[in-house]
């Protein structure tokens, strides 16, 4: 009896989560899959295995796909460059300020995403001090910053930065400092110890952080809507517009699936690559 119960327990624990996912993820996904193969206008949609929705999605909106991945990739890279030193400082050098700093990282979440993005409209407004400085430095070639691709990337970086910082911090914070001491005992310089001990051990955090930043950033449409112009719209904006403005549900559904497939492919390639990278550091030891 006890063994049966023990065997069933994990399934019971998974139950609520599974139910949630099936109801709110799998079922809508199935609806969307069906929708993506329909044709016609709202009110007279017909299901007829119309695979051309998919080829149309790719050929009509390839620019926006490429743009989305470039913007999201750039934002992820910048976020990584900002986040790693920050997380490192919080984990190893912050002392009693650690909790305060962590709070500061999370604090923006007390304001909604939308409000924070709209606040950037003011920060990057044409007459703002920030833009005057950028113009003085020659970094605003179009004469304005708001309503350019740069502003969209800046917004994406800012909005997803905490998703980069927190996982990296979590993995750095777990590192046994004696390992670093041991490296130094074995005549590793500070740089060597970092490259061969700290960095490999924090790799899971970096992988998680980049994924948590890149994936939502590629599908984002808020930043492009408020900070971008007509030439900076991302694939999320197209999907939103197809759904809500043009009422072209089949095209929107097909586009969503293409986006999902592309992101999934990119992520699996990345995980394979990053996974082996993380291993290599350890094997070299």
Partner 1 sequence: MRGRETNRSTVTLTIAAFVAAVALALGLAACGGGGGGIEGGGDSGEAETVKLQGKPSGEVTISNWPLYIDQGTVPAFEKATGVKVKYIEDINENAEFFGKLQPLLQRGESGGRSLFVVTDWMASKMHELGYLQNLDKSGIPNVEANLASSLRSPSFDPNRDFSVPWQSGMGGLIVRTDLAPDVRSICDLFDPKYKGKVDFLGEYIETVPLVMSCEGVDPDSASEAEWMKAIDKIKAAVDSGQVRRFTGNDYARDLTSGDAVAVIGWSGDAVQLQADNPNIEWRMPTEGCSLWSDNMVIPVGAPNPTAAEAWMNYVYKPEVQANIAAEVNYVTPVEGVKQIFEKREPELAKNELIFPSAKFTKNCFTQPQLTSEETQNITRAFDAVVNG
Q: Is 64 in the site for partner 1 (CB under 8 A)?
A: yes
The C-alpha atoms of residue 58 and residue 60 are separated, in whole angstroms, by: 6
The C-alpha atoms of residue 263 and residue 268 are separated, in whole angstroms, by: 9
Stretch that binds partner 1, among 8-16, 59-67, 92-100, 177-185 (CB under 8 A): 59-67
Task: Report the nearest approach of partner 1 to the CB of residue 252 (Å).
Answer: 7
Task: Report the nearest approach of partner 1 to the CB of residue 279 (Å).
Answer: 5
Structure tokens that stand for 120 in this block: 């950037």
Q: Report 219-248 residues binding partner 1 (CB under 8 A).
A: 219-221, 228-231, 233, 236-248
CB 150 within 8 A of CB 120: no
Size of the site for partner 1 (CB under 8 A): 75
Neighbours of 151 (CB within 10 A): 24
CB 161 within 8 A of CB 87: no
208 SS3 class: helix
Of 101 and 267, nearer to partner 1 (C-beta) is 267
Q: Is 73 in the site for partner 1 (CB under 8 A)?
A: no
Task: Report the nearest approach of partner 1 to the CB of residue 193 (Å).
Answer: 19
Q: Is 263 in the site for partner 1 (CB under 8 A)?
A: yes
Sign of CA dihedral 14, 16, 20, 23: positive
State which of residues 32, 101, 175, 188 lies at the interface with partner 1 (CB under 8 A): 32
State which of residues 154, 208, 254, 258 lies at the interface with partner 1 (CB under 8 A): 208
Q: Is 141 in the site for partner 1 (CB under 8 A)?
A: no
Stretch that binds partner 1, among 85-93, 95-103, 178-186, 215-223 (CB under 8 A): 215-223
CB 266 within 8 A of CB 99: no
Structure tokens that stand for 276 in this block: 């082996």
């Amino acid at each position: 009896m006890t063994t049966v119960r023990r065997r069933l327990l994990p399934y019971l624990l998974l139950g609520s989560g599974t139910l949630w996912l099936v109801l709110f993820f799998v079922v809508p996904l199935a609806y969307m899959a069906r929708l993506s193969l329909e044709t016609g206008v709202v009110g007279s949609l017909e299901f007829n295995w119309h695979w051309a929705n998919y080829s149309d999605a790719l050929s009509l909106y390839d620019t926006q796909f490429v743009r989305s991945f470039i913007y999201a990739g750039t934002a992820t890279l910048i976020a990584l460059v900002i986040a790693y030193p920050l997380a490192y400082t919080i984990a190893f050098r912050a002392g009693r300020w650690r909790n305060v700093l962590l709070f500061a990282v999370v604090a923006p979440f007390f304001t909604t995403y939308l409000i924070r993005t709209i606040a950037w409209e003011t920060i990057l407004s044409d007459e703002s001090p920030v833009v005057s400085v950028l113009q003085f430095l020659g970094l605003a070639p179009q004469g304005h910053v708001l309503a350019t691709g740069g502003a969209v990337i800046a917004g994406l970086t800012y909005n997803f930065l905490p998703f980069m910082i927190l996982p990296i911090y979590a993995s750095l914070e777990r590192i046994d400092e004696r390992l670093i001491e041991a490296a130094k005992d074995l005549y590793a310089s500070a740089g060597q110890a970092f490259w061969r001990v700290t960095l490999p051990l924090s790799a899971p955090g970096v992988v998680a952080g980049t994924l948590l930043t890149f994936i939502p950033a590629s599908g984002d449409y808020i930043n492009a809507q408020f900070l971008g112009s007509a030439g900076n719209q991302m694939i999320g904006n197209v999907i939103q517009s197809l759904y809500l403005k043009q009422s072209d549900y089949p095209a929107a559904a097909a586009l969503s699936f293409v986006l999902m497939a592309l992101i999934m492919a990119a992520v699996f390639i990345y995980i394979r690559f990053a996974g082996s990278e993380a291993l290599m550091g350890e094997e070299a030891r």
